[in-house]
């Protein structure tokens, strides 16, 4: 693993803080990144043989994997990473909503094709993202992974967001059978989901512009 200095001097676009004295926290973030990357792969890569038994297992696996994302909010709050607290909180909250308040309460939604498309979008995104984070903290940034990190979201984010919104919509009617407030809370969430997604999407676009500009400059210097 690279020295603490190498980790502290990570370039701004990686999203990691350059503060001194954070080596232990950076190691923690690296460990979490590697664990979440490893746990994101199975839902994306495995092919279930028996839906009646594999889907419930997959749903539980996904629920606890995404619950680990709560550490990202803590890392942002402590300054371990430079990711804005609000955008991190929004993204983590949306994952918590889907795995705890939607699919965990209404397990039949895990059989929806939109649940599958959501998991594919999440899994591919996280495999790329956490591989990028882990290697960046180790002082190594392969250009192909940087390109994937800041370009695949153009396709994966819309797929994930549309799938998430559809699952929330499907949950509104059964939620009304539990409590009318539950149903209307989901309607309210849907009303703010698109504006919230726009914030996340435009944030990634702004990050992409910075990173792609830097990659282009590095390529010109190398010539």
Q: What is the DSSP string of 84-151?
A: -HHHHHHHHHHHHIIIIIIITT-GGGGGSHHHHHHHHHHHHHHHHHHHHHHHHHTT---HHHHHHHTT
Q: What is the pLDDT of residue 164?
A: 98
Q: What is the pLDDT of residue 140?
A: 86
- The one catalytic residue among 13, 72, 126, 164: 164
Alpha carbon distance 190, 183 (integer Å): 11
Strand, helix or coil for residue 16? strand
Q: What is the pLDDT of residue 216?
A: 82
User: Is residue 72 among the annotated active site residues?
Assistant: no
Alpha carbon distance 97, 154 (integer Å): 23
What's the Rg (C-alpha) of the chain? 19
Q: What is the pLDDT of residue 49?
A: 52
Phi-psi bin for 17: left (phi > 0), alpha (psi -120 to 50), beta? beta
Q: What is the pLDDT of residue 89?
A: 94
- The one catalytic residue among 61, 157, 201, 203: 157
Q: What is the pLDDT of residue 217?
A: 82
Is 114 within 8 Å of 167 (Cβ atoms)?
yes
Residues in Cβ contact with 192 at an 8 Å cutoff, skipping those fewer than 6 apart:
none
Task: Report pLDDT digits (tens) over 92-115.
Answer: 999 999 999 999 999 999 999 999
Cα torsion 203, 101, 57, 72: sign: positive
Q: At what angle do helices 85-96 and 70-78 cross, to 10 degrees?
A: 170
Is 210 within 8 Å of 149 (Cβ atoms)?
no
Residues in the chain: 223
Residue ranges of the chain whose pLDDT lies below 70: 1-52, 220, 222-223
Q: What is the pLDDT of residue 1?
A: 44
Q: What is the pLDDT of residue 20?
A: 40
Q: What is the pLDDT of residue 21?
A: 40
Q: How many domains does the chain have?
A: 1
User: Tokens 């279930």 belong to which residue?
Assistant: 48
Residue ranges making up the domain that contains 24: 4-222
Residue 109 phi/psi, 5-degree rounding, is -70, -20
User: Is residue 164 among the annotated active site residues?
Assistant: yes
């Amino acid at each position: 693993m690279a020295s603490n200095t190498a980790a502290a001097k990570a370039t701004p676009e990686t999203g990691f803080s350059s503060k001194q004295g954070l080596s232990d926290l950076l190691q923690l973030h690296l460990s979490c990144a590697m664990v979440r990357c490893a746990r994101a792969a199975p839902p994306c890569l495995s092919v279930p043989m028996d839906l009646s038994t594999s889907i419930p297992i997959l749903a539980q696996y996904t629920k606890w994997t995404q619950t680990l994302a709560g550490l990202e909010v803590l890392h942002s709050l402590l300054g371990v990473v430079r990711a804005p607290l609000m955008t991190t909180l929004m993204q983590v909250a949306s994952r918590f909503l889907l795995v705890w308040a939607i699919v965990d309460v209404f397990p039949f939604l895990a059989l929806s094709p939109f649940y599958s498309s959501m998991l594919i979008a999440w899994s591919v995104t996280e495999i790329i993202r956490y591989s990028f984070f882990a290697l960046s903290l180790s002082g190594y940034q392969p250009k192909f992974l940087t390109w994937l990190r800041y370009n695949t979201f153009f396709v994966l984010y819309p797929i994930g967001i549309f799938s998430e919104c559809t699952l929330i919509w499907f949950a509104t009617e059964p939620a009304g059978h539990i409590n009318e407030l539950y149903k209307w809370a989901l309607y309210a969430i849907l009303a703010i989901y698109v504006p919230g997604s726009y914030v996340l999407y435009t944030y990634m676009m702004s990050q992409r512009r910075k990173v792609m500009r830097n990659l282009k400059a590095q390529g010109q210097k190398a010539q």
